[in-house]
Structure 1
Amino acid sequence: MIMESAADLGPDCGSLCNKSTVLGGQGPPVLVDAWLVPTFFGLIMLVGLVGNSLVIHVVTKHQQMKTVTNFYIVNLATTDILFLVCCVPFTATLYPLPSWIFGEFMCRLVNYLQQVTAQATCITLSAMSVDRCYVTLYPLQSLRHRTPRMALAISVSIWIGALLLSIPVAVYQRLEDGYWFGPQTYCSEVFPSAHLQRAFIIYSFLAVYLLPLLTITACYAFMLKRMGQPSCTLLQVSRMVVVMVALFLICWGPIQICILLQAFGLRSYVLYKLKIWGHCMSYSNSSVNPVVYAFMGNNFRKAFKQAFPAVFLWREIDHQAPKGEAEMHFLSSES
């Protein structure tokens, strides 16, 4: 699913595809996508790598930050880093270059790792939500069962599950010959039948997007119901629930829906452009996760001040906590 090419346009690409046949020897046109999308991807990668690396640094270097919840945040940050490294550089080259230039082995490996990291990211988000729900519904029992060893076991299980569930991507990914202003090589998924391809895409939509979204929504609905009476804290947590669910929905929804539409035969130049935007949105999620889950949290903020005191010299040391900090503390600290 990494390949964005004329092959994605299908029979509806119209005059642009016809022109490519006539002008086959002149090379493809230079579109705005060729420089704009790689630039945006590069910015996403820079912000995401710096932010997620800082999250991992402050948790591993500060003993008070080594909590169960923060262990999941580190796992999420690690997943986001791998996702950015595996996705961004290779996808960015597809816009200025008309062909896949990295060979069949990298075609299989890159797409497999993309699926693995996307799967692991979504399952980790779900695990975090289930963990917070468990603490809220069963605060006493959670003291016995929520241990770093249990969090490690769950994290390892997430990665094993993601590695196994993503195997079809490696099996059916291969190089194909195509034509776009001359002979080109595309990295594409080639399934034995259209039915099998649609089945896998539907499975991917459910596993990577819909089921995690339903899990996150259900967990926080139970949490809000358990908290019961209206209060300032309840309203703050409600806002954070909306932000978390909306962020997940907005970032991952467009690309998943575009892929689903393509699986059922809808191919057009408009959908091709929407898919580009969808990729940008899904990659952005790995950059904003550190902001949502860590940088705004009270405990993380204190740890950042200890790790990088010079950065915070311009701010007051004992200023009043921002109004929306309570819900971030709820997410990034132990109960």
Structure 2
Amino acid sequence: MTIKTGIVGAAGFAGIELVRLLGEHPSFEVGVVTSDSLAGTPVSDLYPALDGHTDLVFEKHGVDALEGCDAVFLAVPHTAAMSQVPALLEAGISVFDLSADYRLKDAAVYKRWYATEHTSPELLEKAAFGLPELFASELARAAAEREAGAAALVACAGCYPTATSLAAYPAIHAGLVDGTVIVDAVSGVTGAGKKATERTHFCFANESIEAYGVGTHRHTPEIEQILGLEGKVVFTPHLAPLNRGILSTVYLPLSAEHAGETSLEAIRDLYTEFYAEDAFVRVLPLGTMPKTGSVAGSNACHIGLALSAAGDMLIAVGAIDNLCKGAAGQAVQCANIVFGLPETTGLTAPALPV
């Protein structure tokens, strides 16, 4: 099966990661990559690492350029996606959106956090949430819709919510947690996008680490929605001087029933069983904590677990590559499911050893 594919916003970091991954995929055939500012420029001129791997040339945005595609990946900023999604779906094209535009199920919540009125709120319920390990049923529904002849819409989970939720969900799902969950997460600079700012310029980001969006970061409601903890998540992101990777440390207060009573071995067994069928999640041995270098370039998520000295707080740490499992790789994983392929197809390469 050849799945004709387009990538909108292919010049950005997540977009070019899609080009890299889909260029080696056995079923998805990328025929269109768009960027208004770079129209007419060969992809390999902008990213020489892809020289010899692709002869694609950037085209201008527009539904017309994407006619004939079976699937389109949107690697564009929030608000830009919802200006394109309705027309793509109307044209019968399944959409995998890497932006935040269709992740939140409540249009009022979207407006509050993104300061923008949602222009197609009727599609929020249609959108399957793109975090396969936790929302398999929604992706199965999207796959059934596509199989029945309707275009599917998948809202791929954000990078911080992916690392955080995969680390926290099994304990919450099992009823071990009671109270406010604290999240301290660190991201590489590519998470801020390709355009340099005073925060992400090399001279300011190098040899420095800072918290940002403290108490106001837009991924907070997404994490709360995934975990079912509305108003009970305090999320603080940090920028670190590395290219790729997210490390999310999640502090989960154990309920009175489990504090001091549930062993770390039992919790690890719970996590191992929960993710037993998930090829991309690895629960590390006790005493071992994840690091971003161990997942860079891969679609993997590594999880480490520890208990506080008093035994009343579970510390769950998740590491992912923000551009792969946190963006492009996750989108490909979702697309594999929607198009009836094994979800690992094209994503089995290991992380970079060094």
Q: Give me the TM-score of the superposition, normalised by structure 2.
A: 0.28
Highest Rg: 1 or 2?
A: 1
- Work out which structure has the larger RCO, using CA pairs closer than 8 Å and 6 or more positions apart in sequence: 1
Q: TM-score, normalised by structure 1?
A: 0.29
Structure number having the greater helix percentage = 1
